[in-house]
Structure 1
Amino acid sequence: MSEYILEMHQITKEFTGVKALSNVNFKVEKGEIHCLIGENGAGKSTLMKVLSGVYPYGKYKGDIVFNGSIQQFNKINDSVDAGIAIIYQELALFPDLAVYENIFIGNEVENRGVLDWNQTIIESQKMLDKVNLKVNPETLIKDLGVGKQQLIEIAKALSKEVKLLILDEPTAALNEDDSENLLRLLRELKSQGITCIMISHKLKEVISIADKATVLRDGETICTLDASKGEINESIIIKNMVGREINAIYPKRENKIFGDKILELTNWCAYDAQLGRQVSKDVNLHVKQGEIIGLAGLMGSGRTELALSIFGNPKSYKLQGDLKLHGKSRQFKHTSEAMKAGIAYVTEDRKGDGLFLIQDIKSNISVANMKGISSNGIINVNEEIIVGEKYRKSMGIKASSLEQVVGNLSGGNQQKVSLGKWLFVNPNLLILDEPTRGIDVGAKFEIYTVMNKLISDGMSIIMISSELGEILGMSDRVYVMAKSEIKGVLTSEEASQEKIMQLATQ
């Protein structure tokens, strides 16, 4: 008989009359890697917040059984003391503190009531060794990349003698190498008897690492799949996640017809004076009407910097070279000039830079084009509602009303709002920076379908993505960047994961 470290029975959680979780049952065996999957808004993070004490006992219905005992966690520290640690997608580290300080913050090493920093550094090194991270414990967090910071979060959890480690989208911001390194570490922790729950939208990862996977949909438990029975595969997962078959994750476009060049860069260079280095070097690139250009490369290769240099240069890079739009040389001194010229940019950081999370849907959609809903400098509220409703329907934004606060929407619906905002500007060229980061396969399919519709209407798209499957599945041509340079360009017929990675690692 299997021994469960965790059993959650009939968990129900409501927010102002809306059921986020409805009688959810979730069981995890000791020493397994159990993936929790489902579309954005399915209830995954809410369930883990119930488990970790973010939503305290009494604020939900149902029972939590951990290590054979019914638990009543009233705060996060209660779950931590029981041996549960949760690592969120947004890392909770202090950038201006050292690695050793972050690992033992709130769990300081003392000697007769006095903080023992020397012993803290020694113990931190032991934790770093456990996660196979070779950094000096005295290094500041802000001087480390996201992949290393993620490992430090795990080291921090291990320092508290964790029995159950929960990771919420741990590889969302990581490149391929860092993602593989993290998954390898989870397998090592499993061999040491640590149980892991991982929330992930990346089906490839789920298939490669999960012993079991539980699917939530609309706040309810749909099923638990078992890898030993061959149940964890793409088609079964997708069908249970979205409640329907998706025959192709990347919808096909028929009758590809490309027009004249919309954008052309010649020997394009961007110098970041603050960093003291080139962020784009002699880039030669063009985009035709009705074409999706994929911009591939590892993190730090210069893809986002290139996009920003095109979109009115908000980072104030020193620019050289020639930028032609519709055949005419242009120099944009501000993002507003790029927008007037028909360029729009959907940022990779929708929460930090792309949306006003405390405002409603209609306000976010109209904000980039206030003139489009104004007359004589006065906003026409009725027109704003009409525009908001238009994009809510066309983008398939799932919300109770246009007045719903964007911060309360799922990641996929937030991304649709961000996309709708820029479509209201009516651009000719749309730059999408990591358009499906942190959203589920069903929402991805909807975003891809919107992209294909825009292309068929004559728009052009530059898509930056760290997911090679997405690059290969959606691009007509692929430019590969490394060290701020274009290392090669591949047609959709030529492109493969191997060729892209070969160019990206030059």
Structure 2
Amino acid sequence: MTGTEEQAAVPLVRMTGISKSYPGVRALAEVDLTVRAGEVLALVGENGAGKSTLLKVLGGVVSPDAGQVEIAGEPVRLAGPRDSQRHGIAVIHQELTLAPDLSVAENVMVGREPRTRAGLVDRSAMASATRSALAELGVQVDPWTPVGRLSLARQQMVEVARALAQRARLIIMDEPTSALTEDEVDRLLATVRRLRDNGVAVVYVSHRMREIFEVADRITVMRDGQVTGVLPAAQTDPDDLVTRMVGREIDRLFGEHGRAGVGEVVLEVRGLRAGPRVRDVSFQVRAGEVVGMAGLVGSGRTETAKAVFGAEPITAGEVRLRGRPVRFRHPGLAIRAGLAYLSEDRKLTGLFLDQPVRSNIAVTVPRQVASRGWFQPRRERRLAERFRAALRIVCPGVDARVGGLSGGNQQKVALAKWLATEPAVLLLDEPTRGVDIGAKAEIYRIIRGLAAEGVGIVLISSELTEVLGMSDRIVVLCEGRTAGELAADEATEEGVVALATGVRARPADAAGEARS
């Protein structure tokens, strides 16, 4: 073998026998991981499988208790993120690490600001490098726009652009598409392929099977802190992969539609207008029905839910709850009327991460855990234990800090706090964002159970497969307006996308033209 061949045969990254324990938890148990230059390695597993801890070791954030890391055949000690970056490793975290008050350019070029001969920051060069990195993703943003003014999807693209601007040898992408539209996902996957073709290694972490099988060359599966398999992507399929991830087969991920039990209209929205993004939205929800709400990012889905819930002011239109017109001045009134809203960002607006499970669940129902105005710890604990059992929340106990739970179990806690209010209508905004396939199956089971009990559900999701699989009807928004409605048995991905992009007119309009 020639020297060149030997060099090519040496993996870019080799992790051997990596172990890491925390009090009461063994996060990693003698894990081996190999990443080659010019390949996309998908890293999959349920939340809590050890993926994040392993990547933190590679990113220099966590020091392992045992094991060795080699970069291009040389043993290295990654004592911090800067060490990792010096070795050509860039990490795109699931939780954004941007500085909202700084501009896009300042975030993209942080720590690597180009200088003029006089030693000053070269703003022109910064802007040029930023535009170049964003252009690779098909994104056009003014480099001097404060990041905090961008949508969550655009912020995610800025995070990706920052990694591209580092010209890293290895890019770790941890759930990089959780806030992106289908078009943005396609652009990102195309970028991943270009990186691979240019010799860059990519470790791609995602719960979305479509993405994994579109870009991965090999797939490493983790479960309970161990690697359970390393497979060529071409030699496996989603069903096999899910079984390896969860250690059991999951039959019928989305469950059965329950239209037979659909009852009276519990929520009706007519001609709703609110803020700049909700311009004319109308839809109905019946008891026991799951109504999917689809649309591109910026179509007004979240803003519609917030307006109905009283979190955004309504400027025109009508909302009827159980047949009665309502317009809530604040969410507290909506909750008392039988409405609940699970927000899209559980860590920012859905949970108190430093507080225990019990207080997070009880926060929406203070009267249930008090007697004559006095807080009753026993009532709070009973309430929390009831929902812990009903939703199968995996945690050391209801006194456990929510921030220490896996993403799927955090989401169950966020859901439990709203179920405690016994709502007639439940608005779910991205209920499975950032959770693994096993937790998704559990959440779908919960949603089906609620519908069977007569709860009317609005399901907002950026995953078309989720909307199609879970919904009895689908309402599609386009630029703040109801573009159309599709029954479950007639809905397709192509049909939803056509309505969401304005390619297809709303069915009611087409029917009217035919009659005339």
Residue in 1 that maps onto 2:311? 314
Residue in 2 that maps onto 1:49? 56
Residue in 1 that maps onto 2:218? 212
Moved more, 157-166 or 396-405: 157-166
Note if contact 1:348-1:435 (Cα within 8 Å) is conserved in structure 2: yes
Residue in 1 that maps onto 2:410? 414
Q: State the TM-score, normalized to the length of structure 2.
A: 0.92
CA distance in 2, matches of 1:113, 1:422: 58
Relative to structure 1, the CA distance from residue 332 to residue 153 in structure 2 (aligned partners, 3 Å threshold; closer, same or farther) is closer
Opposite residue 344 of structure 1, the aligned amino acid is A
Shift of 1:194: 0.6
1:474 aligned onto 2:478: no
User: Which of 286, 302, 305 in structure 1 is aligned with 2:303?
Assistant: 305
CA distance in 2, matches of 1:267, 1:116: 51
SS in 2 for 1:110: coil
Shift of 1:145: 4.3
Shift of 1:70: 1.2
Relative to structure 1, the CA distance from residue 16 to residue 339 in structure 2 (aligned partners, 3 Å threshold; closer, same or farther) is same
Relative to structure 1, the CA distance from residue 138 to residue 348 in structure 2 (aligned partners, 3 Å threshold; closer, same or farther) is closer
Opposite residue 154 of structure 1, the aligned amino acid is V
1:94 aligned onto 2:85: no
1:256 aligned onto 2:260: yes
CA distance in 2, matches of 1:180, 1:142: 24
CA distance in 1, matches of 2:103, 2:134: 13
User: Which of 286, 289, 292 in structure 2 is aligned with 1:288?
Assistant: 286
Residue in 1 that maps onto 2:108? 103
Q: How does 1:51-66 map to 2 (within 5 A)?
A: 51-56=58-63, 59-66=64-71
User: Which of 419, 432, 437 in structure 2 is aligned with 1:441?
Assistant: 437
Q: How does 1:228-247 map to 2 (within 5 A)?
A: 228=234, 230-231=235-236, 233-247=237-251
Shift of 1:397: 0.5
User: Which of 162, 172, 177 in structure 1 is aligned with 2:178?
Assistant: 172
For structure 1, list consecutive stretches of 5 or more residues without a partner in the other structure: none
Shift of 1:136: 4.4
For structure 2, list consecutive stretches of 5 or more residues without a partner in the other structure: 1-5, 503-516
| Cα shift readout 1:157-212 (whole Å, capped 9, x = no counterpart) | 34433111001100001111111111100101111111000111111100111001
CA distance in 2, matches of 1:496, 1:353: 32
CA distance in 1, matches of 2:367, 2:478: 40
Opposite residue 158 of structure 2, the aligned amino acid is I
Shift of 1:61: 1.3
| Cα shift readout 1:204-240 (whole Å, capped 9, x = no counterpart) | 1001110011111111111011024x22x11111001
CA distance in 2, matches of 1:265, 1:253: 23
User: Which of 44, 58, 69 in structure 1 is aligned with 2:74?
Assistant: 69
Shift of 1:135: 4.1
Residue in 1 that maps onto 2:348? 352
1:338 aligned onto 2:334: yes
Shift of 1:102: 2.2
Relative to structure 1, the CA distance from residue 446 to residue 98 in structure 2 (aligned partners, 3 Å threshold; closer, same or farther) is same
Opposite residue 81 of structure 1, the aligned amino acid is R
Note if contact 1:292-1:455 (Cα within 8 Å) is conserved in structure 2: yes
SS in 2 for 1:269: strand
Note if contact 2:10-2:72 (Cα within 8 Å) is conserved in structure 1: no
Note if contact 2:258-2:289 (Cα within 8 Å) is conserved in structure 1: no
SS in 1 for 2:278: strand
Shift of 1:92: 2.2
RMSD (CA atoms): 1.8
1:389 aligned onto 2:393: no
SS in 1 for 2:495: helix
CA distance in 2, matches of 1:122, 1:282: 40
Residue in 1 that maps onto 2:202? 196
User: Which of 489, 496, 507 in structure 2 is aligned with 1:493?
Assistant: 489
Q: How does 1:125-164 map to 2 (within 5 A)?
A: 125-164=131-170
Shift of 1:386: 1.0
1:19 aligned onto 2:26: yes
CA distance in 1, matches of 2:354, 2:196: 40
Q: State the TM-score, normalized to the length of structure 1.
A: 0.93
